[in-house]
Amino acid sequence: MSSFDELCVTTNFSFLRSGSHPEEFVEQAAKLGLAGIGIADRNTLAGVVRAHVKAKSIKEKDGVDLRVIVGARLAFRDGAPDLIVYPKNRVAYARLTRLLSEGNRRAPKGECYLDLADYLKYARGLQTIIIPSFDLGAESQGFRELIKEIIDASGVAWLAAPFQFNGDDRRRIRQLNRIASQTGARLLATTEPLLHSCDRRPLLDVVSCIREKKTLKEARDFLARNAERYLKPAREIARLYRDAPQAVSESFAFLSDITFSMDELRYNYPEETSAGYASSQEALRARTWAGADKRYPGGVPEKVRQALVRELGIVERKQYAPYFLTVADIVEFARSAYGKDGNPKVPILCQGRGSAANSAICYCLGITSVDPAENTLLFDRFISEERNEPPDIDVDFEHERREEVIQYVYHKYGRDRAGLAATLICYRGRSAIREVAKAFGYSEDRIASLSKMLHWWSRGVSEKDLVELGLDVSDKRLMKCIDLANQLQGFPRHLSQHVGGFVITRSKLHDVVPIQNAAMEDRTVVEWNKDDLEDLGILKVDLLGLGMLTCLKKAFDLAKEHYPGQKLVKLDSSDTSDERVYKMLHRADSIGVFQVESRAQMSMLPRLKPQEFYDLVIEVAIVRPGPIQGGMVHPYLKRRKDKEQGKKLDYPYPALEKVLERTLGVPLFQEQAMQIAIEGAGFSPPEADKLRRAMATFKRVGTIEMLLPRHLRHRAFKCSANGVLRSRANRARCNRSRRRCPADRYQSFKLGQHA
């Protein structure tokens, strides 16, 4: 491990000011053997979580313990030089997030208005690096006074001595060394990296053009003078700063004084909802059992009672009770809401959905409507004791009245304790090619033709694709444009607001994450998206708008108006056995029917011929990319036809009949995958959840192989192909063709590796 840390890194979360992702900087720093790295983006902490998570994954995978410190580069509107600040401890981190929040809230969306006086107010505990202008000249005396002012506010300051490779570095470093000696600042070596590798310099030029809205020919003054602002190894830094070696070792001293880690950030949900009880857990327990008695007036079934006891125990150990109470409070508000004039009472239709439907607690609290007495619920699909991730409850509201719910949250908890999660808008397909083509100076006609070809952009552009479109692959300029557009994909464009993901805290939210204004009036947003919040274990609740709930509410109102005295239909008491509805669906007459009105659904309806509500559940589930690509559709339809003809269906393993009976032996749901692992392979519920998550290859890859050897020892998994459990009748054919049966190929796995 070297004795040099690069502390002045700018990632692409400085939005069009860098050519590399935070993860790329961290990975490259680990490869170079640097002692640590500091991530400091321009007036934001938007990208620091990704750097932190990447460092943890490298340590877990490769055993490389790279220190990643998180801070921000403060750019001021009053002409003061940029400052890079890192909090020494948790208290100082809160000062930094308050400082950034203050700058964000006084500015329009996407801007942060800071003055030097703002920094001086929050400077205590912030280790500060002063970035000098390239030509100090006659301003050097004022610069010295500024340094002393910063030292007085923060206690100590470092003066960056950037090596810019412009032929004047050694003279300027000597000048900065004198200034540091005269003011009491400490000289610090840095190349102010904008790239993790020098190969990204062309992309850096392009993003600079996009930022300045200029072509490459027009933007010469804004482009990098060379490709040297990349992350360099310690030996190269030592060579460059051989005249000032103390500036190199000072970086290590800077890092050693910082104790703060992002792991210190944890959720602390509000406790107002537990008023009248000794603790949030006691309040949740009382309200859950009261809700259970209301749901089951004839007595709580033993199955439900056991589920509630287990769930409440897990919630207590994970300390999630305040979260459940907060969501329940929001739902109660919606169902007892009043009109704008305060009278009469006009409830807002709402319904919990997603993995929360696996919770008996949520059912008893009225958040969801999936009865655990009539269904097999897997609470570990929702919350797992082994999975150190927060639960996620999604609640749909009438889309026309969701704003009332959002403003209720803001009013109850205050804007300093509640904010919407961010959504990171990145460059994708057409936007990437359009922006890069503009930078290359292509005409609008050519830009339009290039962008229109990108319906397959997700897999990249090959020469074959270009030839098919009649484009000249020998045109080096065109090929470079395509290559850079490929590289630009996934780069952050800006932060937007999540459709309804709320973060609510007991203490001040701006002590956890900076808050900024949203484009919509009366909305504020935190700087992290849902994945970042999840990685840090910070809970959120999704308050979503659903147009169909608005439609249903209007239908209920019409029924009440035109059929007075009749029994009113409610959301959870609708008749699901009306034969006329199913006959209509058999004709694919489903335009305007929620979730079965797409062309794909209308094509499937006459083939599946739903007879009951659960058939519709299967209908919606089976017309999805996963079941289609996994070869589940035709086996299900065939077995359904066999059942209608009175044929007996068999199952490859007796224990799985209970799990797969309702889907005729074909696993369609993630909960079934977990139940198969539990019943057929002896997995515990948390282990089964690991298997489910390993199947989600879009986010986590490479873990399913470690689980395969275990479950392949059991008969239930011996004959699995493409996710479809084959019947005994097909098993002989399966065994004759190893290419057709992935289970045979997996027999050679030993602890996740091929034999």
Torsion of CA 591, 592, 598, 599, to 10 degrees: 10
State the Cα–Cα distance between residues 686 and 678, nearest whole angstrom.
Answer: 10
- The arithmetic mean of pLDDT across residues 436-451, rounded, is 88
Q: Dihedral sign for Cα 680, 685, 689, 691, please.
A: negative
Q: Choose the weakest-confidence range: 150-164, 580-594, 599-613, 652-666.
A: 652-666
pLDDT value of position 300: 94
pLDDT value of position 341: 55
- The arithmetic mean of pLDDT across residues 137-144, rounded, is 74
DSSP state of 569: P
The CA distances from residue 503 to 215, 365, 392, 551, 563, in Å, are 41, 21, 11, 29, 42
State the Cα–Cα distance between residues 364 and 282, nearest whole angstrom.
Answer: 15
Among candidate residues 266, 259, 263, the one with its CA nearest the CA of residue 87: 259
What is residue 323's three-state secondary structure?
Answer: helix
**In a 10 Å sphere around its CB, with 0-12 CB exposed, 13-18 middle and 19+ buried, how is residue 326 labelled?**
buried
pLDDT value of position 87: 98
Of residues 3 and 590, more confidence is placed in 590
State the Cα–Cα distance between residues 750 and 736, nearest whole angstrom.
Answer: 23
State the Cα–Cα distance between residues 635 and 643, nearest whole angstrom.
Answer: 12
Contact 509, 515 (CB under 8 A): yes
Confidence band for 22, pLDDT divided at 50, 70 and 90:
very high
State the Cα–Cα distance between residues 695 and 512, nearest whole angstrom.
Answer: 33
Domain ranges of the chain: 5-196+231-264, 272-424+495-548, 430-494, 575-623, 629-755
Query: How far is C-alpha 435 from the geometric centre of its chain's CA atoms?
Result: 25
pLDDT value of position 377: 75
CA 433, 108, 493: angle at the middle one, nearest 5? 20
pLDDT value of position 684: 78
What is residue 497's three-state secondary structure?
Answer: strand
Does 725 have pLDDT greater than 70? no
The β-bridge relationship of strands 418-426 and 524-529 is parallel
* Max mean pLDDT range (364-373, 443-452, 457-466): 364-373
Q: What is the pTM of this model?
A: 0.82
Phi/psi of residue 169, nearest 5 degrees: -65, -45
Q: Residue 279: what residue type?
A: S
Phi/psi of residue 308, nearest 5 degrees: -65, -40
* Max mean pLDDT range (192-206, 536-550, 709-723): 192-206
Contact 540, 502 (CB under 8 A): yes
pLDDT value of position 733: 41
pLDDT value of position 280: 92
Contact 491, 211 (CB under 8 A): no
Contact 551, 340 (CB under 8 A): no
State the Cα–Cα distance between residues 121 and 93, nearest whole angstrom.
Answer: 14
Confidence band for 39, pLDDT divided at 50, 70 and 90:
very high
pLDDT value of position 704: 55
SS (H, E, C) 94-140: HHHHHHHHHHHHCCCCCCCCCCHHHHHHHCCCEEEEECCCCCCHHHH
Confidence band for 700, pLDDT divided at 50, 70 and 90:
very low
State the Cα–Cα distance between residues 514 and 97, nearest whole angstrom.
Answer: 5
Does 411 have pLDDT greater than 80? yes
State the Cα–Cα distance between residues 691 and 703, nearest whole angstrom.
Answer: 8
- The arithmetic mean of pLDDT across residues 39-64, rounded, is 95
Tokens for 326, please give them: 């907060």
pLDDT value of position 303: 92
Average pLDDT of every residue of the chain: 85
- The arithmetic mean of pLDDT across residues 634-661, rounded, is 86
Q: Choose the weakest-confidence range: 236-245, 336-345, 659-668.
A: 336-345
Q: Write the pLDDT tens digit of every residue in 490-544.
A: 999 999 988 888 999 888 999 999 999 988 887 899 999 988 998 888 888 899 9
Q: Write the pLDDT tens digit of every residue in 321-346.
A: 998 999 999 999 999 876 555 566 78
Of residues 355 and 755, more confidence is placed in 355
Q: Choose the weakest-confidence range: 41-45, 151-155, 507-511, 671-675.
A: 671-675
Does 396 have pLDDT greater than 80? yes
Q: How far apart are the first and last CA of the chain?
A: 36
Taking the domain 5-196+231-264, which CATH number applies?
3.20.20.140
pLDDT value of position 136: 64
Confidence band for 369, pLDDT divided at 50, 70 and 90:
confident
pLDDT value of position 437: 93
| Crossing angle between the packed helical segments 685-695 and 704-711, to the nearest 10 degrees | 130
Does 698 have pLDDT greater than 90? no
